[in-house]
Amino acid sequence: MFPLVAGALFGFWIVTLVPTDTPEAAWFVFLSGSIAICAMILPGISGSYLLLIMRKYEYILTQVGSIGTVDTGTAILNLIPFFAGAAVGIILFSRVLSWLLNNFHAKTLLVLIGFLIGSLYVIWPYQNREFQDSVRSTQIVEYTDPVVQTILEREEPPNLPEYKRIKEVINPGASFDALKKVEVETVSRKLLSSRPVIPEPGSSDVNIWSGIYGMAGGLLMIFFISFLRRS
């Protein structure tokens, strides 16, 4: 049972990680590509999720989005270490995984099943998440701009990784809205922690059993797949 428990603990640790600041040096982008591609061939671990944890998901998408613009050359140079790392990672790790399956088939499968069991933690729909907001950019727009009107109409900030908010109205005493200017901030939310919670009994907008059924169904599916592999 040790490989199963070890895999479950490792999977649980992975899904409870929070994003952290990392360098954008070529060596770390190479390492990020290797880690992400290795995770993609393992069950229960998402390569995209690990890129988010290392804060390289947005970086890679930004470089891809820059292709076709005046920054095409720089974007390609920045992407080369990532794709090189992915190529090296998939070549080496696939061989390592193949060797493990050939020599320690049962133990390797137990570890992989443990990954799936540990990652079930993230299925629970009710999480208490703490964020830290940081301003990424600021721009001055017209008060009549549709973006400003959308911000004014909502009651609270949206639960999104990035959103816009009004910092201040520059000339609030203007006679007409068309003469007013507004300073709009683009805010990035950094996840600090995520803890599962049980909602209060009797809440009309939640269903605790849906989360329990989802996790139980996922667990049964894992053992059913492992049974099919053995048979």
Left, alpha or beta for 27 (phi > 0: left; psi -120 to 50: alpha)? Answer: alpha
On whether the pTM is more than 0.75, the answer is no
Give me the pLDDT at residue 80, please.
93
| Tokens matching residue 60 | 């890679």
Element (H, E) at 6: helix 2-15
- At residue 230, the pLDDT reads 64
pLDDT of residue 71: 82
Give the pLDDT means over successive 10-residue stretches in the chain (231 positions).
88 78 88 90 79 83 84 88 93 90 88 83 72 80 82 78 81 74 82 70 64 76 72 60
pLDDT at 204: 57
Q: In which residue are the tokens 């894992």 written?
A: 222
Instruction: Count Cβ atoms within 10 A of the Cβ of residue 132 and give its class: 0-12 exposed, 13-18 middle, 19 or more buried.
Output: exposed
- Please tell me the predicted confidence (pLDDT) of residue 207: 64
